[in-house]
């Protein structure tokens, strides 16, 4: 099956610093990747859609200057949380959709971010 990895799996940082999270599709090319955020016991909330070689599309209410997304290749997308604050602490999950796929999204294992 298709495998998506995320790095790091968890990160603790100080308030005001920036954190980069990587999402990689290991055995397929992903023209589109998605970034989600999940708070404890809550649903996954789509933050943005990332298309290779173009700007990401952000969902309403998501600050694009705070959550920088780069999709530089067909196998890698990165999410950078800039000037992180404690309220940004959450579980960040990416998913990747193979080219031509209509319904399949393969999810990464998630990255737990804790901002002190």
Partner 1 sequence: QKEVEQDPGPLSVPEGAIVSLNCTYSNSAFQYFMWYRQYSRKGPELLMYTYSSGNKEDGRFTAQVDKSSKYISLFIRDSQPSDSATYLCAMRRTDSWGKLQFGAGTQVVVTP
* Enclosing H/E stretch for 42: none
Residue 13 beta carbon to partner 1: minimum distance, rounded to whole angstroms:
18
State which of positions 19-78 bind partner 1 (CB under 8 A): 32, 34, 41-46, 49
- Examine residue 115 and tell whether it contacts partner 1 (CB under 8 A): no
- From 25, 77, 78, 95, residue interacting with partner 1 (rule: CB under 8 A): 95
CB-nearer residue toward partner 1: 2 or 82: 2
The two structure tokens encoding residue 39: 């708070």
The Cα–Cα gap between 79 and 96 comes to 14
- The DSSP-derived string for 2-41 is --EEEE-SEEEE-TT--EEEEEEESSS-EEEEEEEEE-TT
CB-nearer residue toward partner 1: 11 or 44: 44
Q: How many CB atoms lie within 10 A of CB 112?
A: 14
- From 28, 35, 58, 106, residue interacting with partner 1 (rule: CB under 8 A): 106
Q: How many CB atoms lie within 10 A of CB 18?
A: 12
CB-nearer residue toward partner 1: 6 or 78: 6
Binding region for partner 1 (CB under 8 A): 4, 6, 32, 34, 41-46, 49, 91, 93, 95, 97, 102-110, 112
């Amino acid at each position: 099956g298709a495998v998506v990895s995320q790095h790091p799996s968890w990160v603790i940082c100080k308030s005001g610093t920036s954190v980069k999270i990587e999402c990689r599709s290991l055995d397929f090319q992903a023209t589109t990747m998605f970034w989600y955020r999940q708070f404890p016991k809550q649903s996954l909330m789509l933050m943005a859609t990332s298309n290779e070689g173009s700007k990401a599309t952000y969902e309403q209410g998501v600050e694009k200057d705070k959550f920088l997304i780069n999709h530089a290749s067909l196998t890698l997308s990165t999410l950078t949380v800039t000037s992180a604050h404690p309220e940004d602490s959450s579980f960040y999950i990416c998913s990747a959709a193979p080219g031509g796929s209509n319904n399949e999204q393969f999810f990464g294992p998630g990255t737990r971010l804790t901002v002190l």
